[in-house]
Amino acid sequence: MRQMLPWSTFSPTRRHILAAGLVGLGTGATALGSSLCRAAEAATLRKLAAEKGLLYGTTIAATQITGDRPFADLVRHEAGLVVAENEMKWQVMNRGAPDDDDYAPADTIADFASANQLVLRGHNLLWYHRTPSWFFNLTDRQQQEQAVIDHIRGLAGRYRGRIHSWDVVNEPIEPKDGRPDGLRTEVFLETLGPEYLDLAYHTARGADPNAQLVVNEYDVELDSPEHEARRGALLHLLEEMRRSGTPVDAVGIQAHLTAAGGPAFSAPLLRRFLADIASLGLSIQITELDVTDEKAPADVAVRDRLVADTYRRFLDAVLDEPAVKMVVTWGLSDRHSWIVRRETYQTKWRTDDATSRPLPFDADLEAKPAFDAIAGAFAHAPQRIPG
């Protein structure tokens, strides 16, 4: 049984949506309790997505499951899928030596998914940016290859049968590196050559034959020469993988978007790109959606509207493509966002001290206009065959 949240826990925005649902139900007073439950159920992102054959989910961290009960409850309520924000990354799990990995935090997330009947994504098997330092010191090619195989077999094998889809290689392309094939010149390419992709995907297929195998990539969404070059390189890679029989099932579009001050967005251009991917027989997942408001005005109402508009325009465009089967936001509440924490690639643009508001719920777990935008996009999305 899914847990029902009391009415008072819903924000004014959400109560408005729920009340609209109640009007639609035409309830009498005696039926109000159960109608409230039905309306509340109808308004969750999980449910709105599922009605269209879509999976909606979010990242979660083990410490949030163990230490932030209200947030974990919100995840249970809103999400149909979870993905570990960091806990399944090789460098994060590894204690500093080959075959010495700490699976406890990753297990916490996998068990949370099982206990709550949530679909589990795997992120990720190989990412140059989160590779243990000892791997960089290996000089023997056979050892390098064996380390990659052992890692993929160990991690994907541990959760065999429990993972919906694995990001096997994260962020494999970078046209700026100047290779004709557009591949990123990173540690796995430098040690094993471009064949590392074939090795990784075949090993993943063997370790968990029922998991969808995904190529996950960023900055392929917008109308700029840089994104265009990245789209071309990604399509080229996918065509090559298809041609050579490398097992790949889906493409992950990360979609870390900006509400203001970024490159232009063109819905027709993005739709064309998604159709090109679909024509290769691949499904598409939106894997890391969030909207930074770093260059938007400080005024909260203005910022929230710009963020919501960005979600709406993006989702309306991508959900037109029936091959898009999944939408994952990179967090659910501004309380836990890498943008708010300013990690990794996040530059500080603001001169004021305003805290970023990139996700559907604010730091107090109240729904924001971004929630309404995502809910609306799911409600208007064409029906699709789940994937």
Residues lying near ligand XIL in the complex (CB under 6 A): 85-86, 170, 218, 254, 288, 338, 343-344
- Closer to ligand XIL at the Cβ: 86 or 131? 86
CB of 185 to ligand XIL, least distance (A): 18
Closest of 276, 148, 137 to residue 204, by C-alpha: 148
For residue 295, what are the CA distances in angstroms to 127, 140, 303, 349, 380? 29, 47, 9, 6, 29
CB of 22 to ligand XIL, least distance (A): 37
CB of 218 to ligand XIL, least distance (A): 6
CB of 379 to ligand XIL, least distance (A): 28
d(CA 309, CA 314): 8
CB of 161 to ligand XIL, least distance (A): 24
Rg (CA), the chain: 21
What is the DSSP code (8-state) at residue 338? T
- Closer to ligand XIL at the Cβ: 69 or 129? 129
- Closer to ligand XIL at the Cβ: 25 or 92? 92
- Sole residue written with tokens 């579009």: 253
- Closer to ligand XIL at the Cβ: 217 or 321? 217
- Closer to ligand XIL at the Cβ: 46 or 89? 89
For every residue of 171-236, DSSP letters joined together read S-B-GGG--TT-B---HHHHHH-TTHHHHHHHHHHHH-TTSEEEEEE-S-SSSSHHHHHHHHHHHH
CB of 57 to ligand XIL, least distance (A): 14
CB of 150 to ligand XIL, least distance (A): 22
Q: At what angle do helices 267-278 and 300-318 cross, to 10 degrees?
A: 40
Give the three-state DSSP class for 75: helix
CB of 79 to ligand XIL, least distance (A): 16
**Contact of 64 with 39, CB cutoff 8 Å:** no
Cα 235–chain centre separation: 20
- Closer to ligand XIL at the Cβ: 265 or 338? 338
- Closer to ligand XIL at the Cβ: 170 or 356? 170
C-beta nearest to ligand XIL: residue = 338
**Contact of 174 with 184, CB cutoff 8 Å:** yes
- Closer to ligand XIL at the Cβ: 22 or 189? 189
Helix or strand holding residue 269 (H, E)? helix 267-278
